[in-house]
Amino acid sequence: MGRARGCKSLEQAWESILTQGYRTHDLYSQDTETLVTTTELVELFIHELRLV
């Protein structure tokens, strides 16, 4: 059960970042998105994990 919940938390955090429009230059870059460095993307991901 713990693994499933952990995976779900990871999915939710990642979806939240993508929904907010954050991308690195190599991830589906489009005009409506906020491009960030990989370091910034990881920091956003960690922040979102704390919220889940």
Bridge partner residues of 35 (DSSP): 23
pLDDT of residue 24 exceeding 80: no
Q: What is the DSSP letter of 6?
A: H
* Band (30; pLDDT cuts 50, 70, 90): low
* Band (26; pLDDT cuts 50, 70, 90): low
Instruction: Please provide residue 31's backbone torsions phi and psi, each rounded to the nearest 5 degrees.
Output: -65, -30
Per-residue burial over 16-29, b if 16 or more Cβ lie within 10 Å, else e, is bbeeeebbbeeeee
State the pLDDT at residue 44.
92
Task: Work out how many domains the chain is built from and give that number.
Answer: 1
pLDDT of residue 21 exceeding 70: yes
Evaluate whether 24 touches 14 at the Cβ level (below 8 Å).
no
Q: Which domain holds residue 31?
A: 2-51
State the pLDDT at residue 37.
85
d(CA 50, CA 12): 11
